[in-house]
Structure 1
Amino acid sequence: MHLGATLRLLRVDAGLSLRDLARRIGVSSAYLSRVENGVDAPPTQERLTAIARELDVPPGLLMDVANRVSPYVAGYLEDVPAAGTLMLDIARRKLTGAQLARVRAFLDAEFPLREVRGNDPVPPLAPLLSPERVVVQLSCGDYEDALDVAAGRLAAALPGMDAAVLAEGLRRREGEAPTQVGNGVAVPHAFVPGAPPVAALVTLARPLKADAPDGQPLRLVVALVDGHVGRARLMRLAHVARLAGRGLADRLLGVEEPQRVLETLEELEALR
């Protein structure tokens, strides 16, 4: 998982320059640049929390992308040792994603989660998709072709939207900063005033060479359109990066039916 690429993605969409964000969290712009480019190790939990505050996203999202245990979880495990034992029991049983979803459904029913200020639920990706906006095993020559296909599917869901105009919007955002978040996934996106959030997902028949932060070829494109800027949009982008780190591209490898793609995505998102 590549935290730096996700930080750059969110920073650019939040309208912050490298210098602005560095100043706000009390570090040098050179240090933050090294983090974004994967030269330096991921920041500490405290610094990630500060970054999340400035980007207005839940700290837990960035912790997940960085593969760090949040201070809240660490504190809970220290206070309630039995929770750690339960986690070991789950690991020994090697529960699948679908089985863990059943465990979570039981917890949600028996022990509803109390809302905590600042911990807004992460907007899931699956409801923004439909079978018509899932393209499987696309054969294309380059990333530009994949963007055109994604734009066509997105435009069909937006009355009056021209696919060529939307494709240009995706390319324009790509020109500001690459949207590849590692693990074979790119999340191109465009702002369309007044448009509801909508997504298209494209799996590739053959991996494409790409300027990815982790050097992995591109295998999956998740294109997003939104008509509003702000917290929910940034959370969606961070969530896709988290899904990438959890192996979304690997899980969809070889899947040939759009409906099965959606089911696989829903299973992965059920783990939250």
Structure 2
Amino acid sequence: MHLGATLRLLRVDAGLSLRDLARRIGVSSAYLSRVENGVDAPPTVERLTAIARELDVPPALLMDVANRVSPYVAEYLEEVPGSGTLFLELARRRLTGAQLARVRDFLDAEFPVRGGTHGDAPVPALAPLLAPERVVLQVSCGGWEDVLDVVAGRLAAALPGVDAARLVEGLSQLDDLSSCAVGGGVAVPHVFLPGVPSVVALVTLAKGLRVDTPDGRPVRLVVAAVDGERGRARLIRMAHVARLAARGLAERLDEARQPVQVLAALEELEALR
């Protein structure tokens, strides 16, 4: 998965220049640019944590996208060596996301976390912002403009008084498709319209769009959003979609032929957030 594309997407939406973010985390602009463009390896856990703090998103989200292990896990395995056996038992049973959520519910009930921060709160799910009429499957599109027309039409239908052409214009203000592609065959175009409720449309493509994506994979899934407010919730959702992409979201939804199948798959994938 291409962490750099996600970092660039979040940084730009947060209104931070490359120089601003680099200065805040104590690195050079050249280094951060190399990371965003996939030239350098993903940052260390410590540096990812600093980036997450400046973007105001949970560090675990960025670590998941980068396929990094949280330092809390490493420290716990060192402090309690027997915990490794439990992890192996979970792996041996091949528990699904829904089953792991049941395990977490048990832990929350029996051994609740004390003194957590807002960064420990569960990430809001994507599924509640969707509706069957905003899930469009196996669409044949000749180009990115066609995709935007489809998602804008579905989003406008959920926003009385908002014209689809206005949404297309807003979504098109992104530089190009590569600026909202996060890898794994997923793109996340988004637009800000003051005062409207947040809504999401999801589109799978019958044939992937072969464009300049960060990992070279054709775009097969588009998760488009309209938000009435900027800020933390919007950034967290973008990072969450990137994490789902890293977990194979496009592949999971590619076989879906009914919106209910998409919503069911999302429920399972989002059981642990």
Fold shared per TM-score above 0.5: yes
What's the offset of the Cα at 1:176?
Answer: 10
Which position in structure 1 is the counterpart of 2:63?
63
SS of match in other structure, 1:95: coil
What's the offset of the Cα at 1:106?
Answer: 3.1
Q: Distance in 2 between matches of 1:233 and 1:47?
A: 22
SS of match in other structure, 2:15: coil
Q: Distance in 2 between matches of 1:143 and 1:176?
A: 7
Cα offsets for 1:40-79 (capped at 9, x unmatched): 0001111111111111111111111111011122112222
CA contact (8 A) 2:185 2:220 kept: yes
CA contact (8 A) 2:48 2:59 kept: yes
Q: Distance in 2 between matches of 1:141 and 1:265?
A: 27
Q: Distance in 2 between matches of 1:238 and 1:175?
A: 19
Which position in structure 2 is the counterpart of 1:15?
15
What's the offset of the Cα at 1:26?
Answer: 1.1
CA contact (8 A) 2:193 2:227 kept: yes
RMSD: 1.6
Q: Percent identity?
A: 75
Which position in structure 2 is the counterpart of 1:183?
184
CA contact (8 A) 2:144 2:177 kept: no
Q: 1:176 to 1:99 in 2, by over 3 A?
A: closer
What's the offset of the Cα at 1:235?
Answer: 0.5
Cα offsets for 1:149-200 (capped at 9, x unmatched): 1111111111101011011101113459711000000000000101111100
Which position in structure 1 is the counterpart of 2:50?
50
CA contact (8 A) 1:9 1:177 kept: no
Q: 1:125 to 1:171 in 2, by over 3 A?
A: same
CA contact (8 A) 1:185 1:218 kept: yes
Cα offsets for 1:129-150 (capped at 9, x unmatched): 0111100111111122111111
SS of match in other structure, 1:116: coil
Which position in structure 1 is the counterpart of 2:257?
256
CA contact (8 A) 1:142 1:208 kept: yes
Q: Give the residue type in structure 2 aligned to 1:170.
A: L
Moved more, 72-81 or 85-94: 72-81
Do structure 1's residue 95 and structure 2's residue 95 form an aligned pair?
yes
What's the offset of the Cα at 1:254?
Answer: 1.5
CA contact (8 A) 1:135 1:203 kept: yes
Which position in structure 1 is the counterpart of 2:173?
172
**Runs (5+) with no aligned partner, structure 1:** none
Q: Distance in 1 between matches of 2:133 and 2:33?
A: 39
Q: Distance in 2 between matches of 1:194 and 1:113?
A: 36
Q: Distance in 2 between matches of 1:107 and 1:174?
A: 45
What's the offset of the Cα at 1:115?
Answer: 6.0
Which position in structure 2 is the counterpart of 1:40?
40
SS of match in other structure, 1:40: coil
Q: Distance in 1 between matches of 2:127 and 2:157?
A: 18
Which position in structure 2 is the counterpart of 1:136?
137
Q: Distance in 1 between matches of 2:109 and 2:18?
A: 43
Which position in structure 2 is the counterpart of 1:2?
2
Q: 1:54 to 1:177 in 2, by over 3 A?
A: farther
Cα offsets for 1:27-47 (capped at 9, x unmatched): 111110000000000011111
**Runs (5+) with no aligned partner, structure 2:** none
Do structure 1's residue 209 and structure 2's residue 246 form an aligned pair?
no
Task: Give TM-score, length-normalised by structure 2.
Answer: 0.95
CA contact (8 A) 1:174 1:188 kept: no
What's the offset of the Cα at 1:108?
Answer: 3.7
Q: Distance in 1 between matches of 2:113 and 2:197?
A: 28
Q: Distance in 2 between matches of 1:82 and 1:195?
A: 50
Q: Distance in 2 between matches of 1:132 and 1:112?
A: 39
What's the offset of the Cα at 1:90?
Answer: 1.1
Which position in structure 2 is the counterpart of 1:105?
105
